[in-house]
A = this chain, B = another copy of it.
Amino acid sequence: MIVLIKDHADPIQLENLISWLKGMGLDVHKSVGQTQTLLGLIGDTSTVDMDVIRSLDIVENVQRVQEPYKNANRKFHRDDTVVSCGGALIGGGHFLMIAGPCSVESEEQIIGVARRVKAAGAHLLRGGAFKPRTSPYAFQGLKAEGVRLLLEAKKEVGIPIITEIMDINHLPLFEDVDVIQVGARNMQNFELLRELGQIRKPILLKRGLANTIQEWLMSAEYIMAGGNSQVILCERGIRTFETATRNTLDISAVPVLRKLTHLPVVVDPSHATGHSYLVKSMALAGAVSGADGLMIEVHNDPPHALSDGAQSLTPDQFDDVAQAVRNVLPFACRGSEAL
């Protein structure tokens, strides 16, 4: 961490600051120039509150040069983390395909989709029971009944399941759920993250729609600091000025994360783009960029003409995408190669 001292700073205040920093166990190196003084802080600065230092009268600026996260940091944990999702592995060379409908709608639907995506090679069934919706008037999911139907599908089809949690009070409903998803809007719901650090179940943490990679890793750190090291990161597009796609899929986040962290990374091309015609190309892009998995929306055959062309892929389209992904996986950027 670098502290830039203001011109004409009071020398006594400066000495006070240096003593205080040393008291935190840091080495402090002072560089005095004609017009500027810098302090270089060496040591474990992950618990130093930059804002407090920046607020001091004699400080012009503070810059962090070391990552403020530890548990999630590849520097302190060189090997890829491998997470078991109800038996299906992700990370360290294991590729995980997650597929299923946006919302669980009925037993028939979820079991039908489960059979098809499992046959196509998916390892984990997704399905929303609690749905975060911008409008209070939009369908909010089947809630507890949705979770129950997912568990039916799990038993019936023999595929582990993932579904989203929106409130820690619902946790008892998730006992037999294999992976718990934290949605983009809750990426900085710190109370929820902290509680999920207390359990021993994999958490798939979606990136917030306008959160930096560093903030995302800090949210993973919240979970890991509680002792739950089974965190999977999911890139699902960020908010930009572009309106041709729902969000802008930040594919470069995949190799950046591979460098910064040992946690597995999943790409969700469906939510990122918002258009089914973009899913295949973005699934392939995610796979070759070195992602450890994909999360793709697949909807059962639509029952009537009206929902003929759902935004989700049909099971047939998913068959095609899953095969295309398997074709490119041997050529994907992976491991030290990307570094």
- Residues of A whose CB lies within 8 Å of any CB of B are 2, 4, 12-13, 16-17, 20, 27, 29, 31-36, 38, 40, 42-43, 46-47, 49, 51-52, 54-61, 63, 65-66, 68-69, 132-139, 166-169, 185-186, 188-191, 194, 209-210, 212-215, 218, 221-222, 225, 238-245, 248-256, 259, 272-273, 277-278, 280-282, 284-290, 304-312, 324, 327-328, 331-333, 337-339
Contact = CB atoms under 8 A, between A and B. Distances in A.
Contacts of A31: 27, 29, 31, 40, 42
A300 to B, nearest CB: 14
Contacts of A47: 135, 137-138
B190 A12 contact: no
Contact of A239 (B35, B241, B277, B307): B241
Contact of A338 (B221, B281, B304): B281
A337 B276 CA distance: 12
A135 B281 contact: no
Given A238-B248, A278-B252, A281-B290, A63 B2 contact: yes
User: Chain copies in the assembly?
Assistant: 4
B54 A333 contact: no
A69 B136 CA distance: 9
Given A33-B42, A190-B166, A338-B277, A309 B56 contact: yes
A235 to B, nearest CB: 11
A4 B221 CA distance: 24
B168 A13 contact: no
B191 A284 contact: no
B280 A338 contact: yes
Contact of A248 (B16, B240, B305): B240
Given A36-B42, A305-B12, A277 B339 contact: yes
Which 8 A-B pairs rank lowest in CB-CB distance, beginning with the nearest?
A33-B42, A57-B309, A210-B210, A29-B31, A31-B40, A57-B308, A285-B285, A281-B333
